Chains A and B, each alone.
Chain A
Amino acid sequence: MSADLQISLVAVAAGVACALVGVFLVLRRMAMMADAISHSILPGIVAGYVLAHGPNLLLGFLGATASGLLTVVLVEALSKGKLRQDAAIGLVFPILFALGVLVVSKYFANVHIDTDAVLYGEIAFAPFDTVNVAGRDIGPKSFWVLAVLAIVNTGFIAVLYKELKLATFDPGLAASLGFRPALLHYLLMALVAVTTVGAFSAVGAILSVALIIVPPVVASLLTERLPRMIALSVAVGALGAVLGHRVAAWSNVSISGMIATVLGILFGGALLFAPGRGLIAQWSRRRAQKVRFATEMLLVHLATHQETAARDIECSLPHLESELGWDREVAARIVGRAERLGLLEREESLLSLTEAGLRQAYLAAER
């Protein structure tokens, strides 16, 4: 297997594993918890290092997961009290991170744990750390870790789908029906922590957070149904991973950084162009509503005055400017549009409604 293909596989596995837990995290409005966990696992890694008297995959993993969960518990405890959730998150993770940095620089000055390298991540090294089974090289270790995580996350969602859905959208109802939303919440958080730990050693802290948050948000712009949102998230995560890696390999820049950038571009595209929810759709809808409302106003105005003595004044084009507060250009455009639609007729500057125009004016006035 070529190194490029191996890196691609690692990135896709990370994208899939992260997107799966990300959907529920984003729906629960706890996206920044992923960011907090990704930073606060540092003291856990350090603790694992101390306990094992050296680098040890299992203890490091356990330590990191434990301090990820500690973050969740601390944030919950604080935000039940007098702090709000955002403040609690913003407080807890820097303190844990500071603790980790302090211990590293005080007692392990000679050990190389580069705190900023941890943040950037270096997925390009993945092919150098492979697993051997029965003497055969079966691919990068980080791919297998992430693949297992993706399977575990899929299993979790498949088995507890109904419960997760209910507890996410209506925790009160879930509790009163006898499910235990709190237990489910901690299970989900444990999976977020484990997934972050697994992804972060392969792709770096920042990219693992990007893979958890961005794909579900892109999906949420495109659909309102949970199953579709899950599928779309996974697809966006995998697409971002593959595209980002291709572009990075081609231009020889940071792979993790480029995957995050591509995810950002995908988000920007969805934000602008998403049907219904996107900014352009919103903008054109607002514009269409404006034109429709203005036309209806014109029709009702004409209908009110067209049989009266003041018709010659009220129903003249220049009068609309003062009556409806339109400037000349708007008035000309709206009148022109109504004329084209056959709603009114024009003689010089005098306007009169057609049969169809009168009918629409009554409809509009009744509404």
Chain B
Amino acid sequence: MNLIHDLIFDYTLRNVALGSAILGVVSGVLGCFAVLRRQGLMGDALSHAALPGVCLAYMATHSKSPVVLMIGAALAGLIGMAIILLVERRTRIDPGSALGIVLTVFFGFGVVLLTVIQKGNDANQAGLDKFLFGQAAALVSDQVTTMAIVGGAALFVVGLLYKEFKLLAFDTGFAGVLGFRPHFLGGLLTGLLVAAIVIGLNTVGVILMSAMLVAPACAARQWTNRLSAMIGISALVGALAGLSGAIISVLQERVPTGPAIVLLLGAIVAISLLFGSAEGWVWDWIRRRRNRLALPEPSR
């Protein structure tokens, strides 16, 4: 019972738990579309691409306010996304290479900007790079509110355009034939990913963000064939992992929040692959074994 009391009244625990759960839900929902549209690595690329935006936002405003940095991160993420989509549409370069180029080049440029800022003899800049590497334990309630607003807005758009996004995820060509604009819708849906990434950057950090988007969706996919159910399960898995990861990291000494959440997600995916659906690896193994035993021994 102590835990529930702390969840409500302990400032740190409440913020970390709430922030991680919000991230879990938002990335769980958006991750479903990303995985279905084969954009599982988009999250990884765009979260790295945010670094120069964070640096430029700081250089322009000299403020380390999370909202300012988040806006910078979002703008850089959107530019990165536009380049990836342009390259995918206009050239024969494969999507993976396009992602890799934007990821490394944007991040490298961000590192250059970081050294420029550090040279500026500006005591205020200390810890700027930490914005990208996740420090869930340092979340303050203002940040959690911002996360809730950004995430809520992204989920609202998904709710509004659910039918269109569903069509896009399963049959882009048909969506075009029906008169929807697949490029616009696709860009919008990928743009929403940026919202999830911006929320995730200062919670789990740039590297683990990829798993926040992919893992809940992959786990959910094992249990259902319906998109609506997949989104529901995925959001639930994300929220659960976020919440319990946050609690574990606050209660256990020296367990960082991001890795705790991601390892929990990994365990959930493993269980889902083993037991989820009739084709789960365990059921599959049992069925094959039974079939083998049922066959008569080969005659000599």
Tell me the A residues contacting B by CB distance below 8 Å. Answer: 26, 29-32, 34-35, 39, 78, 81-84, 86-91, 93-95, 97-99, 101-102, 105-106, 109, 115-116, 119-120, 206-207, 209-210, 213-214, 216-217, 220-221, 248, 252-254, 256-261, 263-264, 267, 271, 277, 279, 282
Q: How long is the Cα–Cα vector from A102 to B255 in the complex, in angstroms?
A: 6
Q: Mark contacts of B261-278 with chain A using CB atoms, 8 A cut-off: 1 yes-contact digit, 0 otherwise.
A: 011011001000100000
Q: Is the CB of A29 within 8 A of B94?
A: yes
Q: Is the CB of B40 within 8 A of A260?
A: no
Residues of chain A within 8 A (CB-CB) of B116 are 253
Given contacts A35-B104, A83-B221, A206-B111, 4 further A-B contacts (CB under 8 A): A98-B262, A99-B259, A260-B105, A279-B90
**Which of A95, A264, A279: most chain B CB closer than 10 A?**
A95
Can you list 30 A-B pairs with a CB-CB distance of less than 8 A?
A: A30-B96, A32-B44, A32-B100, A78-B273, A84-B35, A84-B40, A86-B39, A86-B41, A87-B35, A87-B214, A90-B43, A90-B211, A90-B213, A91-B266, A94-B207, A95-B263, A98-B208, A102-B256, A120-B111, A209-B104, A213-B100, A252-B115, A254-B111, A254-B114, A258-B108, A260-B105, A264-B104, A264-B105, A264-B109, A267-B101
Q: Is B171's CB within 8 Å of the partner chain A?
A: no
Q: How long is the Cα–Cα vector from A105 to B205 in the complex, in angstroms?
A: 15
Q: Report the minimum CB–CB distance from B52 to chain A (whole Å).
A: 10
Q: Is B243's CB within 8 Å of the partner chain A?
A: no
Q: Is the CB of A102 within 8 A of B259?
A: yes
Q: How long is the Cα–Cα vector from A30 to B103 in the complex, in angstroms?
A: 15
If A99-B263, A253-B112, A260-B107 touch, whether A282 touches B133 (CB-CB below 8 Å) is no
Q: Is the CB of B211 within 8 A of A91?
A: yes
Q: Is B183's CB within 8 Å of the partner chain A?
A: no
Size category, B interface: 35 or more
If A214-B101, A217-B93 touch, whether A91 touches B111 (CB-CB below 8 Å) is no
Q: Report the minimum CB–CB distance from B251 to chain A (whole Å).
A: 14
Cβ contact of B107, chosen from A84, A206, A216, cutoff 8 A: A206
Residues of chain A within 8 A (CB-CB) of B132 are 116
With CB as the reference atom, state the residue of chain A lying closest to B266: A95
Q: Is the CB of B108 within 8 A of A90?
A: no
Residues of chain B within 8 A (CB-CB) of A220 are 92-93
Residues of chain B within 8 A (CB-CB) of A97 are 207-208, 259
Q: Is the CB of B41 within 8 A of A32?
A: yes
Residues of chain B within 8 A (CB-CB) of A84 are 35, 38, 40
Q: Is the CB of B255 within 8 A of A253?
A: no
Q: Is B91's CB within 8 Å of the partner chain A?
A: yes
